Amino acid sequence: MEEYAQAHGYSGLFVTLTLPSEYHASYKKGHRNPRFNGSTPKDGNDHLMKLWAQIRAKLHRDNLRPFGLRVVEPHHDGCPHWHLMLFTPTGTETAIKHVFEHYTLKDSARADLLKHRLKIVDIDPARGSAAGYVAKYVSKNIDGAHLNTDQTGQPLKDTPTRIRAWASTWRIRQFQFMGTPPVGVWRELRRLMGASGGGGALGTAVEAADRGDWFGFMEAMQKPQVGGDGLGVELMKAHTETVNRYTGEIVTSQFNRYGEPLDGKVIGVCSGLFRMPTRVRHWLGTQFEPLKVIGLVGRQADNPVSFRGNLGLV
């Protein structure tokens, strides 16, 4: 992401969002917070998600489309706070800061508390890379590698286990990419293992994924310059069926076991009218069985079929 931002003249912002005082059970020194409203970490994270939804909607209305990464981690009392690494076209930083300040201030009880709720730092390449800004927070949430002690003097190698338990208990998503190409497309392209996608966006994306080149993949996907559905390559979904050789049952992806309709199964990738299957067999029982496509779903349903690639891929 950072390479892409540098190549396209984007500037970086590092944003920290903190909840109001009433969501914190205790002060830093451990004393009970008399204003605590009894909310759980899940309640606090939901509050931040609502705030972020308002900010994101306003940015979208103003045609501001930053992209980046969000990391969620707990305070000393388990109250969540967010760190966001955002990239935005140079010259739009002030507008984005104003949007964050407006909605965070609107969410605060007093204007003088804004400094405790929101912190925005311009990422200065001269002082270090954007990845360096967020690496510490990612490491603390994964394995604590290359970090020594926390604020209490305890070794950080023990912290990730507790943070993962906290996130799992309260069902909080620790990491979230925003404004970047769908990783599902990347995963499907990686399954092709050296296949040629020809020219155009599909061919470029296939080659980039085969090299493990996320920068090239973002270029092929035309993201984040193109918002909404304007992607160079998309997932191809279809309703499929296969036969269970042990029971003779026809297994279909049209309906679940309760007879409710399903959205379809990912079977490959597509770009315009060109399609590349990545899944032509289905794991059933103890082995792979042929997968029969009985109808594409979504925007591809009405397009004529034109397949590229090796149909024998699993």
Instruction: Report CA 253 to chain centroid distance, whole Å.
Output: 26
For 237, left (φ over 0), alpha (ψ -120 to 50), or beta?
beta
Under 8 Å CB-to-CB from 166, ≥6 apart: which residues?
A: 41, 74, 78, 172
246 is catalytic: no
Catalytic residue among 23, 103, 133, 246: 133
C-alpha 278/C-alpha 268 separation (Å) is 4
Catalytic residue among 4, 103, 137, 258: 137
Structural contact between residues 63 and 43, judged by C-beta atoms closer than 8 angstroms? no
Partners of residue 281 on adjacent β-strands: 290
Partners of residue 234 on adjacent β-strands: 270
- Burial pattern 254-264, b for ≥16 Cβ within 10 A else e, equals beeeeeeeeeb
C-alpha 46/C-alpha 49 separation (Å) is 5
Structural contact between residues 132 and 3, judged by C-beta atoms closer than 8 angstroms? no
Measured CA to CA in angstroms, residue 155 lies from 28, 144, 148, 166, 174 at distances of 19, 9, 6, 18, 21
Q: Which of 2, 28, 24 is nearest to 13 (CA)?
A: 2
Token code pair at residue 169: 């208990």
Q: How many CA atoms lie within 13 A of 233 on its CB side?
A: 33
258 is catalytic: no
Residue 124's CB is within 10 A of a number of other CB atoms, namely 11
Q: How many CA atoms lie within 13 A of 154 on its CB side?
A: 10
Active site residues: 133, 137
